[in-house]
Amino acid sequence: MRFLLLVVAMAAALTFGAASIAKEAVPMAQDEAVEQRMLVISEDLRCLVCQNESLAGSRAELAEDLRREIREMIRAGKSDREITDYLVNRYGDFVLYRPPLKPVTWLLWFGPFVLLLGALAGLAIYLRSRGRRLGDEPADATEGIDGHAPGPGTRA
């Protein structure tokens, strides 16, 4: 993960980081810190043009513009929360790779667990009815000599 981040950071520094340093003549160390934070924030944001890419990784023009806005907000001393709110206010929750917990997203967050519970309940019901069916049969037919269950095919 850290290696991946480093690669992304290096690629970003090569492609547009260098250009922005050249243009705005910001001290190198400060700009690197801004770039790092921008990458961390934009990793969790969806690019709207190529929807399966994060804002950090996308080469779409709009992604570049949005990264520029994020850089400027970082320089203006905005918090991470303020920056993601800025984007959510314009593009909606869709930009977040981690959607917030609210009534509309309950199905999204809890749906899989509901399905799992349903499946477990179904399994329990099935096993119980199967156990009952087996229990109905004569004991000597279902149990082996030492109390072992007989292998398949021994039951009539």
Partner 1 sequence: MIRYLIPLGLFILLVAFLAFGLKLDPREVPSPLIGKPAPAFELPLLADPSRKFSPAEMKGKVWMLNVWASWCVTCREEHPVLLQFAKSGSVPLYGLDWKDQNADALRWLARYDNPYTLTVADADGRVGIDYGVYGAPETYLIDKAGVIRYKQIGAVTPDALQQKILPLVRELQQQ
Residue 72's nearest CA partner among 96, 116, 41, 45 is 41
Q: Does 96 bind partner 1 (CB under 8 A)?
A: no
Secondary structure of residue 96 in the 3-state scheme: strand
| Residue among 92, 111, 112, 118 that touches partner 1 (CB under 8 A) | 92
Q: How far apart are the first and last CA of the chain?
A: 58
Query: Which x/- pattern over 18-37 shows residues binding partner 1 (rule: CB under 8 A)?
Result: --------------------
Nearer to partner 1, 92 or 150 (CB): 92
CB 145 → partner 1: shortest distance, Å? Answer: 35
What is the H or E stretch that residue 95 is in? Answer: none
Strand partners, 54: 46
Is residue 88 at the binding interface for partner 1, with CB under 8 A as the rule?
A: yes
Q: Tell me the residue type at 156.
A: A
**Closer to partner 1 at the Cβ: 93 or 137?**
93
Residue 40's alpha-carbon distances to 34, 35, 54, 74, 107, in angstroms, are 10, 9, 11, 12, 28
What residues numbered 63-82 form the site for partner 1, per CB under 8 A? 65-66, 69
Q: Which residues bind partner 1 (CB under 8 A)?
A: 48-49, 51, 61-62, 65-66, 69, 88-94
